[in-house]
Amino acid sequence: MSEPFGIGRHAGRGPAPFESCICCFKGDTPTGMLLVGEAEWVMGAMMAMGVPLEEAQGTVEYMARTQYGCLPGHVPEIDMECALRVCADCAGKAGLQVAKLPQMWRYPQPEHLRLPEGGE
């Protein structure tokens, strides 16, 4: 299991506290979730929890590069597994749940939210 994202890298909002929630930057957040799905869906889920578009995009691209070896600006064709450190409050905004790390609440992308084949 890879380390949940949200440690020390927050584009544009300055240095983040240690082990902070990726959405609100609250430090010492002991909870997380694992989003499993298309890059676009992962971004949408992050934005539903209050992450600005640019940061959601940056995070997904960062993971695509570091975990999947994608070229900059590209995302994998397969489902991504994005481990995120998120507090219960932010997850709750999107109606999602978290689990205490190293457990992570697993959210697979629902079938009906998949992009149509070949659609871009």
Integer Cα distance of 92 and 87 in angstroms = 9
Minimum CB separation of residue 98 from Zn ion in Å reads 9
Residue with smaller CB distance to Zn ion, 19 or 79: 19
Could you tell me if 18 and 85 are in contact, meaning their C-beta atoms sit under 8 angstroms apart? no
Integer Cα distance of 64 and 72 in angstroms = 8
Return residues touching Zn ion (CB under 5 A): 21, 23-24, 87, 90
Minimum CB separation of residue 48 from Zn ion in Å reads 13
Q: What are phi and psi of 90, to 5 degrees?
A: -70, -40
Minimum CB separation of residue 25 from Zn ion in Å reads 7
The CB density around residue 20, as the number of other CB atoms within 10 Å, is: 20
Residue with smaller CB distance to Zn ion, 12 or 119: 12
Residue with smaller CB distance to Zn ion, 92 or 113: 92
Minimum CB separation of residue 32 from Zn ion in Å reads 11
Whether the bond into 102 is cis, omega within 30 of 0: yes
Residue with smaller CB distance to Zn ion, 60 or 87: 87
